């Protein structure tokens, strides 16, 4: 098997699974229970949270566990909007967000919020002049992802925050950092709220994080028994939290070396694919090497992905959450419907080997020629 869809999800790392299994076996008691066994479970959560907050350089109380980035995005954007509607009802988002952010904004627009979409330049970077113009005294929240999930475009969040705060000191910045964790260094203090998902960084599915600056108040989007945390009631999953901590520690280590390696693989693929006339590379100066997006001029992306699957090779189309639909990011950058409707996303990991890429390129050639001949 050659798996090249690491931005859709990653396999769970062995050590992460070990932490998960150990916590399931040895820390099964409810962390909300008062007796010793429960306290032991609670202590494991506390130590996992401490490790995570040390990595992010934030307070332990600023980490909230969720089921994944979709929930973190909901909790952050809806929670902040509802808790602060007395300050204003204007929200700004970029045009390169994950579908979950747009769905949340669609919902908020039915609740009396005005959603504005900030422009970007031809490299996909938020247009700071447009941002300046769009921030007004009613703006409460700006949401810009750190790394775009389809083309890997990386935003200068620190600068975006500085400019926005200068226009209006009440503005709060949320960033969906899901595609950044484990790929690029994370500076949590560039933002006020940040969403993460552990299954993108060799952790299990079903756990995500929300970083929330302690100054901020969010309105809960769920209600229930909330012994420790009024935003996420219910019994916390000790095994998932232990696994999350392990995945973050492993995932954020040695990033420079991992990136150099992935970049070499990315360049090898681009060098070969640019020799084909009917392939367009969808990439800007700010695309990170882990996410490589291409468009096939004459072949439908689903057809191509399924043909590659016959050789046990797995590629994405756009994001896993909107497979089969038009790529919003490619559309936003190139304004070309045909190009945006035939995208393939090749996403790489430090686990990808040079041999896998050589074999992938050989099969790519076979499948590409075969499908073109059929046409």
Which residues are identified as catalytic?
A: 321
Choice from 48, 52, 68, 209 touching ligand PMP (CB under 6 A): 68
By beta-carbon proximity to ligand PMP, the closer residue of 39 and 320 is: 320
Minimum CB–partner distance for residue 48 and ligand PMP (Å): 18
- Nearest approach in angstroms of CB 102 to ligand PMP is 11
Q: Return the HEC string of the chain.
A: CEEEECCCCCCCCHHHHHHHHHHHHHCCCCCCCCCHHHHHHHHHHHHHHHHHHHHHCCCHHHEEEECCHHHHHHHHHHHHHHHCCCCCCEEEEECCCCHHHHHHHHHHHCCCCEEEEECECCCCCECHHHHHHHCCCCEEEEECCCECCCCCEECCHHHHHHHHHHHCCCCEEEEECCCCCCCCCCCHHHCCEEEEEHHHCCCCCCCEEEEECCCCCCCCCCCCCCCCCCCCCCCCCHHHHHHHHHHHHHHCCCHHHHHHHHHHHHHHHHHHHCCCCCEEEECCCCECCCEEEEEECCCCHHHHHHHHHCCCEEEECCCHHHCCCCCHHHHHHHCCHHHHCCEEEEECCCCCCHHHHHHHHHHHHHHHHHHHHHC
* Contacts of ligand PMP in 193-222 (CB under 6 A): 197, 208
CB of 301 to ligand PMP, least distance (A): 17
CA 264 to chain CA centroid, Å, is 23
Shortest spacing between CB 262 and ligand PMP, in angstroms: 17
Least distance from C-beta 69 to ligand PMP, angstroms? 3
Q: Which is nearer to ligand PMP, 149 or 293 (CB)?
A: 149
As a whole number of angstroms, the distance between CA 32 and CA 46 comes to 12
* Site size with ligand PMP, rule: CB under 6 A: 15
Q: Give the nearest residue (CB) to ligand PMP.
A: 68
From CA 167, how far away is CA 105, in angstroms rounded?
22
Q: Pick between residue 9 and residue 213 the one whose CB is nearest to ligand PMP.
A: 9
**Given candidates 19, 100, 252, 349, which one binds ligand PMP under the rule CB under 6 A?**
100
Nearer to ligand PMP, 19 or 100 (CB): 100
53, 84, 175, 179: residue in contact with ligand PMP (rule CB under 6 A): 179
The site map against ligand PMP for 300-319 (x = CB under 6 A) is -------------------x
- Closest separation between CB of residue 9 and ligand PMP, Å? 8
**70/343 with CB nearer ligand PMP:** 70
Cα–Cα distance list, 308 to 76, 176, 302, 326, 360 (Å): 38, 31, 10, 20, 9
For the CB of residue 73, give the shortest distance to ligand PMP in the complex, in Å.
6
Binding mask 140-169 for ligand PMP (x = CB under 6 A): -----x---x--------------------
Contact pick of 90, 95, 98, 134 for ligand PMP (by CB under 6 A)? 98
Q: Which of residues 317-356 bind ligand PMP (CB under 6 A)?
A: 319-321
**Is residue 69 part of the contact set for ligand PMP (CB under 6 A)?**
yes
Binding site for ligand PMP (CB under 6 A): 68-70, 98, 100, 145, 149, 176, 178-179, 197, 208, 319-321
């Amino acid at each position: 098997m050659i798996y090249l869809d690491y931005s859709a999800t990653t396999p769970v790392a062995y050590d992460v699974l070990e932490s998960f299994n150990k916590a399931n076996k040895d820390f099964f008691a409810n962390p909300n229970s008062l007796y010793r066994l429960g306290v032991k479970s609670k202590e494991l959560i506390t130590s996992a949270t401490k490790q995570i907050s040390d990595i992010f350089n934030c307070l332990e109380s600023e980490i909230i566990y969720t089921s994944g980035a979709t929930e973190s995005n909901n909790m952050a954007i809806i929670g902040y909007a509802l808790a602060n509607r007395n300050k204003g009802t204007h929200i700004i988002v970029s045009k390169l967000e994950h579908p979950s952010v747009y769905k949340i904004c669609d919902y908020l627009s039915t609740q009396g919020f005005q959603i504005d979409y900030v422009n970007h330049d031809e490299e996909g970077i938020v247009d700071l002049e447009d941002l300046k113009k769009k921030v007004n005294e009613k703006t409460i929240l700006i949401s810009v992802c750190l790394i775009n999930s389809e083309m890997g475009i990386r935003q200068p969040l620190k600068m975006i925050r500085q400019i926005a705060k200068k226009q209006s000191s009440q503005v709060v910045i949320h960033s969906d950092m899901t595609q950044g964790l484990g790929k690029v260094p994370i500076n949590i203090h560039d933002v006020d709220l940040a969403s993460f998902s552990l299954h993108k960084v060799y952790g299990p599915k079903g756990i995500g994080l929300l970083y929330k600056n302690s100054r901020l108040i969010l309105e809960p989007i769920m209600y229930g028994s909330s012994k420790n945390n009024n935003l996420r009631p219910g019994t916390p999953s000790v095994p998932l939290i232990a696994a999350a901590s392990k995945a973050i520690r492993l995932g954020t280590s040695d990033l420079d070396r991992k990136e150099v390696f992935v970049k070499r693989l990315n360049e090898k693929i681009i060098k070969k694919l640019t020799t084909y006339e009917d392939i367009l590379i969808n990439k800007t100066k700010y695309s990170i090497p882990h996410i490589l997006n291409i468009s096939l001029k004459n072949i439908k992306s689903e057809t191509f992905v399924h043909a590659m699957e016959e050789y046990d090779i797995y590629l994405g189309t756009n994001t896993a959450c909107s497979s089969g639909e038009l790529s919003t990011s490619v559309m936003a950058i190139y304004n070309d419907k045909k190009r945006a409707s035939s995208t393939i996303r090749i996403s790489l990991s430090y686990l990808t080997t040079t041999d896998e890429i050589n074999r992938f390129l050989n099969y790519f050639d076979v499948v590409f020629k075969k499908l073109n001949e059929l046409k």
